[in-house]
Chain A
């Protein structure tokens, strides 16, 4: 049995935020995640670091929280936040009465807005529809959810925290109304592992209700709501573009590194992991998106994906449900040491983590205060290191790689310098080199090629894994780095995961790409027939 003070269930933004906060306060904590890190909603959202302007009219409290946290995250999360800005654009389909209400709401929430001339707007974003009649600048920004979760986790490790991926909590152990520990199923080895603890933080997002039920308490009204998003192959906007109207489907375009994301929809989900987008949803998003970007049909869709929002409240509440977060201390229900946190937005994850860590610290009698708003999640890398790195990485990509790897970048660079290898470009679409892949692959939390993908963006670009999955697996084999599946299965698994998102948008350029993928893996490499011959 592994003992600690706090078990955190859920390896998403909230969970990793709590892990870091507690670890920084000196409280021993272990985070358990049922899949790879950020398996849940944190890897399936828009990528938007809200200014809060979207909630200015309907949910001013949320709006205020958003802008405050936005400013904090820009400071402490420089390596996972992309500093862009946002536009709110009024199209002919938008109610003109909305704008003044919105401006009022932003003002009262403390969100800076600035109207810019159409001429300037179109110069900055030439792909926008010329039918737009008003444009306002807001401090929206972009955040990479995977990186955020990983960086919080890495920072937590430095403070003594620990994490286990692919460990699904299957039992909550209690004794005389007190939490004693959990049992988790190690999904890689199929063994059951027992953890002992004094407190449990249930930060499992859409699964929060299930975790509460496991403890034997009355069920929580968490209704997962599914949102589908589309990923476009290239970055046709450098700014977040919002529709200036009452929040609705498909009204935000977000640049995300080399791609653009359009979302989202809202529908009651069947289950917490209902992550299958439909082609109907994709077509609907395109119809709405066309109003803002008239040539949207010419932009190649890489894939569609969906995630569930853990909404608190009655089923089917959809967009009218509150985006506020909630902390429930189950001590009041007779189980002491068990705290759930749910709801909220990724933008406010740090605040959520702070508040729930305060509750835990209080229960544990620890007086250390939260410092997460002050200390950067990872330290910057020196200019000197960056210029050295230009010799081994694609020149333009060094800063991206630093953001992706974080504080261990120096170590990675040293390893390359001391070896004779050529730091080969494995994923040409997303500029991922061998050193990055090796570094992530060696991490204890990485078991599958998919884990490497989430941290490095391998296979997330134009070819969706066509070339890089084989190259990555071959390179790992060469370096003797063990992964959990045998190589051909790892590749199949990886391509299958990509395929799930390709299917609902399988037309045009991406269908041609799929043909090339099949020509390579089936026709030349015979990965489908291989099993018949073994």
Chain B
């Protein structure tokens, strides 16, 4: 019962992608997760590669992989795996209620944020794709009264600085709130859930129609729904202007939709989820990983459960997911206790500039093309253990804009490696 063909630790983008990929070919898959994963609060936009060495990529990102160096996970797994992983993700998401697309020419989309900044992304929903409005002449940035993180005045000021909007007239407006002042200030997810209902959808449609008179394009926070997003957004596209959802800070809604789609697929494939499960350590026998040990409820001294599997995929989310832990004196991967090289002086872990590219951003486990962890000599530490996502070393997702791209493609590749290792 507690044995699976493939055991995945972590249920974020990397873990979910690994789980569904493995389950699709018939393997029995269990996913052990401590929490719900940062994917549930993310923007939902899947970034492949936006910047290399500080320079923005304006052509096909695949052309720039060689500039990333051989240590980068993209180069470790290769372009073929990346392409297949992305295609698979799009298929899964579309089959489970959240329509996302890649650009037909293989270029990055442009997304626009609630702060009015733009960013490159590779796979996103039609609503997040702001490339559609780059030629618009009159743009309305609309927020909603009493909605948290919906301050269009800032967005307009910011957006006006971009060359791409140089010829456009951009204004801001606030749509009337359907609820007025509430004790808890509502966030985008609350409104998106309201728009799932007929009543909410009608509110949004009516407010947009009123506010958008005379505009070619309207940008709103991500509130077009969650489970009914696809249906409702389609209908909102027929109002006579291009409607864009901005990408937002947590809770970003898009990530919630994407996660819902992935979990749905996992459900269909009978993936077993063990939630609130804190994996403490691994048990190694004869050079292979026999099992992982989970502590109940994360209470010291509580009972532990052993989970065995033929193959293990570790998708524990790096520093933010506690897949990598740090003390003043050391940095290490938490399940196998793999030491990660870090400078003696704590200051050297980071760059002086807060937005710089920090050493700690690249902290992680070094892996080979199968995504097995490597020892100091470069040989795999354990044949049946594969790593995916942010726990892998060698990339800096915030500056590169490569977060979900690496998570998705390494999750996918780790599953293939696990399936091949029998």
A residues engaging B (CB < 8 A)? Answer: 278-279, 282-283, 286, 422, 424-425, 467, 470-471, 473-475, 477-478, 480, 486-488, 492, 495-496, 498-499, 502-508, 511-512, 514-516, 518-530, 532-534
| Contact A422-B181, Cβ < 8 Å, known A492-B354, A526-B401 | yes
| Contacting pair B318 A496 (CB below 8 A) | no
| Contact A278-B151, Cβ < 8 Å, known A521-B355, A527-B117, A533-B56 | no
Task: Return chain B residues, CB-CB under 8 Å to A514.
Answer: 350, 360
Q: Whole-angstrom distance between the alpha carbons of A533 and B248 in the complex?
A: 19
| Contacting pair A518 B361 (CB below 8 A) | yes
Q: Which 6 A-B pairs have the closest CB atoms?
A: A474-B151, A522-B398, A279-B346, A526-B119, A499-B354, A477-B154
| Contacting pair A532 B326 (CB below 8 A) | no
Residue of B nearest to A286 (CB): B328
The smallest C-beta distance from A331 to any residue of chain B, in angstroms, reads 45
Which of A488, A495, A502, A529 sits near B119, CB closer than 8 Å? A529
Task: Return chain B residues, CB-CB under 8 Å to A528.
Answer: 355, 398-399
The smallest C-beta distance from A395 to any residue of chain B, in angstroms, reads 11
Which of B54, B119, B149, B153 sits near A471, CB closer than 8 Å? B149
| Contact A507-B398, Cβ < 8 Å, known A474-B154, A524-B113, A529-B119 | no
Task: Return chain B residues, CB-CB under 8 Å to A506.
Answer: 326, 346, 349-350, 360
| Contacting pair B327 A507 (CB below 8 A) | yes
Task: Return chain A residues, CB-CB under 8 Å to B54.
Answer: 532
Q: Whole-angstrom distance between the alpha carbons of A475 and B115 in the complex?
A: 11
Residue of B nearest to A424 (CB): B185
Q: Whole-angstrom distance between the alpha carbons of A411 and B160 in the complex?
A: 35
| Contacting pair B355 A519 (CB below 8 A) | no
Task: Return chain A residues, CB-CB under 8 Å to B113.
Answer: 524-526
**Residues of B348-373 whose CB lies within 8 A of A:** 349-350, 352-355, 360-361
Task: Return chain A residues, CB-CB under 8 Å to B322.
Answer: 512
| Contacting pair A283 B398 (CB below 8 A) | no
Which of B115, B157, B319, B352 sits near A525, CB closer than 8 Å? B115
| Contact A515-B401, Cβ < 8 Å, known A278-B347, A525-B249, A526-B118 | no
A-binding segment of B43-51, B86-94, B95-103: B43-51
| Contacting pair B181 A467 (CB below 8 A) | no
* B250 located at the interface, meaning its Cβ lies under 8 Å from any Cβ of chain A in the complex: yes
| Contacting pair A522 B157 (CB below 8 A) | no
Q: Whole-angstrom distance between the alpha carbons of A424 and B399 in the complex?
A: 31
| Contacting pair B117 A488 (CB below 8 A) | yes
| Contact A524-B119, Cβ < 8 Å, known A474-B151, A512-B322 | yes
Which of B42, B50, B51, B148 sits near A424, CB closer than 8 Å? B148
Task: Return chain A residues, CB-CB under 8 Å to B248.
Answer: 524
B residues engaging A (CB < 8 A)? Answer: 38, 42-43, 45, 47, 50-51, 54-56, 113, 115, 117-120, 146, 148-149, 151-154, 157-158, 161-164, 181-182, 185, 247-250, 252, 318-320, 322, 325-328, 345-347, 349-350, 352-355, 360-361, 397-399, 401, 403
| Contact A478-B50, Cβ < 8 Å, known A492-B354, A523-B401 | no
Q: Whole-angstrom distance between the alpha carbons of A330 and B355 in the complex?
A: 48
Q: Whole-angstrom distance between the alpha carbons of A504 and B55 in the complex?
A: 30
Q: Whole-angstrom distance between the alpha carbons of A515 and B321 in the complex?
A: 10
Task: Return chain B residues, CB-CB under 8 Å to A286.
Answer: 328
A-B CB contact pairs (8 Å), 24 listed: A422-B185, A424-B148, A470-B249, A473-B154, A474-B115, A477-B154, A478-B151, A480-B153, A496-B354, A505-B346, A506-B350, A506-B360, A511-B319, A511-B326, A515-B320, A518-B398, A519-B403, A524-B45, A526-B113, A527-B117, A528-B398, A529-B51, A532-B56, A534-B163
Q: Whole-angstrom distance between the alpha carbons of A514 and B351 in the complex?
A: 12
Q: Whole-angstrom distance between the alpha carbons of A523 and B149 in the complex?
A: 17
Q: Whole-angstrom distance between the alpha carbons of A480 and B154 in the complex?
A: 10
Q: Whole-angstrom distance between the alpha carbons of A477 and B141 in the complex?
A: 14
| Contacting pair B328 A283 (CB below 8 A) | yes
The count of A-to-B residue pairs whose CB atoms sit within 8 angstroms is: 157
| Contact A519-B38, Cβ < 8 Å, known A488-B117, A512-B322 | yes
Task: Return chain A residues, CB-CB under 8 Å to B56.
Answer: 529, 532-533
| Contacting pair A529 B154 (CB below 8 A) | no
Task: Return chain B residues, CB-CB under 8 Å to A505.
Answer: 346
Q: Whole-angstrom distance between the alpha carbons of A505 and B369 in the complex?
A: 35
Q: Whole-angstrom distance between the alpha carbons of A518 and B350 in the complex?
A: 12
The smallest C-beta distance from B350 to any residue of chain A, in angstroms, reads 5
| Contacting pair A477 B153 (CB below 8 A) | yes
Q: Whole-angstrom distance between the alpha carbons of A512 and B325 in the complex?
A: 9
Task: Return chain B residues, CB-CB under 8 Å to A283.
Answer: 328
Task: Return chain A residues, CB-CB under 8 Å to B349.
Answer: 506
| Contacting pair A524 B327 (CB below 8 A) | no
The smallest C-beta distance from A458 to any residue of chain B, in angstroms, reads 16
Task: Return chain A residues, CB-CB under 8 Å to B185.
Answer: 422, 424-425
Q: Whole-angstrom distance between the alpha carbons of A499 and B355 in the complex?
A: 10
Task: Return chain A residues, CB-CB under 8 Å to B45.
Answer: 524
Which of A487, A499, A516 sits near B157, CB closer than 8 Å? A487
Residue of B nearest to A505 (CB): B346
Residue of B nearest to A499 (CB): B354
Which of B164, B181, B399 sits near A533, CB closer than 8 Å? B164
Task: Return chain A residues, CB-CB under 8 Å to B162.
Answer: 533-534
Q: Whole-angstrom distance between the alpha carbons of A201 and B325 in the complex?
A: 52
| Contact A533-B347, Cβ < 8 Å, known A478-B153, A506-B360, A512-B322 | no
| Contacting pair B43 A524 (CB below 8 A) | yes
Q: Whole-angstrom distance between the alpha carbons of A496 and B355 in the complex?
A: 8
| Contacting pair B328 A507 (CB below 8 A) | yes
Task: Return chain A residues, CB-CB under 8 Å to B163.
Answer: 533-534
Q: Whole-angstrom distance between the alpha carbons of A526 and B320 in the complex?
A: 19
| Contacting pair A515 B318 (CB below 8 A) | yes
Q: Whole-angstrom distance between the alpha carbons of A471 and B153 in the complex?
A: 12
Task: Return chain B residues, CB-CB under 8 Å to A475.
Answer: 151
| Max chain B C-beta neighbours (<10 A), residue from A278, A508, A530, A532 | A530
| Contacting pair A512 B354 (CB below 8 A) | no
Q: Whole-angstrom distance between the alpha carbons of A424 and B184 in the complex?
A: 9
| Contact A512-B320, Cβ < 8 Å, known A470-B249, A524-B43, A534-B162 | yes
Task: Return chain A residues, CB-CB under 8 Å to B51.
Answer: 529, 532
| Contacting pair B327 A523 (CB below 8 A) | no
